[in-house]
Chains A and B, each alone.
Chain A
Amino acid sequence: MSDILRSLCALLTGLGLFLSTVPVEAEEMAHHHDACVGTGLDCALVATPLFAKDGSLWLIWATADQVSLARSADLGHSFGPAVTINAKPLRLDTGGDGRPVVIEDAKGRLISAFAYFKDDQWNARALVATSTDRGQHFSPPHAISDDPASQRFPVLAADRSGDVFAAWIDKRIVAAAKTAGHAMPGASLAFAWSRDGGETFGPGRIFQEASCECCRLALAMDDRDRPTVLFRAMFPDGVRDHGVIHFLDASTPGPMRHVADDHWVLNGCPHHGPALAVSASGALHAAWFTQGSLRKGVFYARAENADAEFSAPMALSSADRHPARPAVLAMGKKVWLVWKETEETRTTVRLMDSNDDGSSWSAARIVAETTGTSDHPLLIGDGHHAYLSWLSRPEGYRLIPLETAQ
Chain B
Amino acid sequence: MTRRFLVLAAILGLTGPAAGETAATVTAQAWNDMLKAHAGQPLILHFWGMTCGPCQLEMPEWGKLAAERPGLPLVLVEDDPMPMPAAHVADHLGKAGLAGVANWVLAPGDERIRVRIDSAWAGELPYTLLVGRDGKTERIAGAADMRLVRQWLDRETTH
Q: Which A residues are closer than 8 A to B by beta carbons?
A: 3-4, 7-20, 22, 24-26, 28-30, 32-34, 45, 62, 64, 92-98, 117, 120, 122, 185, 213-214, 265-272, 289, 291, 320, 322, 324, 340, 342-347, 373-375
Contact = CB atoms under 8 A, between A and B. Distances in A.
A10 B40 CA distance: 8
28 contacts: A4-B36, A7-B40, A10-B40, A14-B132, A15-B118, A15-B131, A16-B118, A18-B115, A18-B116, A26-B30, A29-B113, A30-B29, A33-B110, A34-B108, A93-B82, A94-B82, A95-B81, A117-B51, A120-B88, A122-B51, A267-B54, A268-B127, A268-B143, A269-B125, A322-B119, A344-B115, A344-B116, A374-B109
Nearest to A346: B112
Contacts of B31: 18
A232 to B, nearest CB: 11
6 shortest interchain CB distances as A-B pairs? A95-B81, A7-B39, A10-B135, A18-B116, A26-B29, A268-B142
Main secondary structure on A side of the interface with B: loop
Given A95-B80, A268-B124, 11 more contacts: A7-B40, A8-B39, A11-B35, A15-B129, A18-B116, A24-B29, A122-B51, A268-B141, A342-B112, A344-B115, A347-B111
Nearest to B132: A14
B45 to A, nearest CB: 9
A342 B111 contact: yes
A93 B53 CA distance: 13
Contact of B39 (A4, A185, A291): A4
Contacts of B83: 33-34, 64
A26 B28 contact: yes
Contact of A11 (B39, B56, B113, B126): B39
B73 to A, nearest CB: 14
Given A20-B32, A24-B28, A272 B115 contact: no
B124 A373 contact: no
B142 A267 contact: yes
Interface string B1-34: 0000000000000000000000001111111100
Contacts of A97: 81
A185 B81 CA distance: 21
Contacts of B25: 30, 32, 34
B100 interface: no
